[in-house]
A and B are shown apart, each in its own frame.
Chain A
Amino acid sequence: NAGVMQNPRHLVRRRGQEARLRCSPMKGHSHVYWYRQLPEEGLKFMVYLQKENIIDESGMPKERFSAEFPKEGPSILRIQQVVRGDSAAYFCASSPGTNQPQHFGDGTRLSIL
């Protein structure tokens, strides 16, 4: 029974490039959440998605960041024109519904050169 799968585990990009982070939820989970963890800070909510719908993106930066959860395939967090400040660990979580707690993947550590 696989957990939440995130890939890649580590991603290095140069300033100005694009970063794509992928998340496959646990089997039977149709709700996906993305969080960002900066050094010495707690996890910060970014976005909540269900299949083909963005439910809450109140934590997403207004520019350069986007997320999707298509009908088929993993959820994608996309960061365009990355800057040094985007360096962080990005975690994905999933749940079967809003009345069930979230389970997390092991994250993608993004480093910007």
Chain B
Amino acid sequence: QKEVEQDPGPLSVPEGAIVSLNCTYSNSAFQYFMWYRQYSRKGPELLMYTYSSGNKEDGRFTAQVDKSSKYISLFIRDSQPSDSATYLCAMSVNTGFQKLVFGTGTRLLVSP
């Protein structure tokens, strides 16, 4: 079993839709949670990060962490074609942002 599970997609939505991306994990020691966006042939771009449980909002993006269920989510409101990319969740244990463990990524396609 992988430490971090993420549905590979692709997830296809129309422009303006609310998108929900999710990851589950098995290691209860994970305390730092990140979402990265990766365009084709580019490096991962940090979108949001949170520590422990709770919600965090930044513009159209909201990250949620539910440690009791070992489940994290990223919501994108008013999705745009430019949001089409692969979204990676990443986690690390409570010593800090060091050895990140990534999900395999979910490919998102937003059609105009």
Q: When the two chains form their complex, are residues A45 and B99 in contact, meaning their CB atoms are under 8 A apart?
A: yes
Q: How far is the CA of A26 from the CA of B49 in the complex (A)?
A: 19
Chain A positions within 8 Å of B90 at CB level:
43
Q: Which residue of B lies closest to A40 (CB)?
A: B104
Interface membership of chain B positions 49-77, coded 1 if the CB is closer than 8 angstroms to chain A and 0 otherwise? 10000000000000000000000000000
Q: How far is the CA of A100 from the CA of B96 in the complex (A)?
A: 8
Q: In this assembly, does A99 line the interface, its C-beta being within 8 Å of a C-beta of chain B?
A: yes
* Chain A interface size range: 20 to 34
Interface membership of chain B positions 1-37, coded 1 if the CB is closer than 8 angstroms to chain A and 0 otherwise? 0001010100000000000000000000000101010
Chain A positions within 8 Å of B97 at CB level:
95, 98-102
Q: When the two chains form their complex, are residues A104 and B36 in contact, meaning their CB atoms are under 8 A apart?
A: yes
Interchain nearest-CB distance for B87 vs A (Å): 12
Q: When the two chains form their complex, are residues A101 and B43 in contact, meaning their CB atoms are under 8 A apart?
A: no
Q: How far is the CA of A106 from the CA of B42 in the complex (A)?
A: 5
Q: Which residue of B lies closest to A47 (CB)?
A: B99
**B: which residues have CB within 8 A of A?**
4, 6, 8, 32, 34, 36, 41-46, 49, 88, 90, 95-105
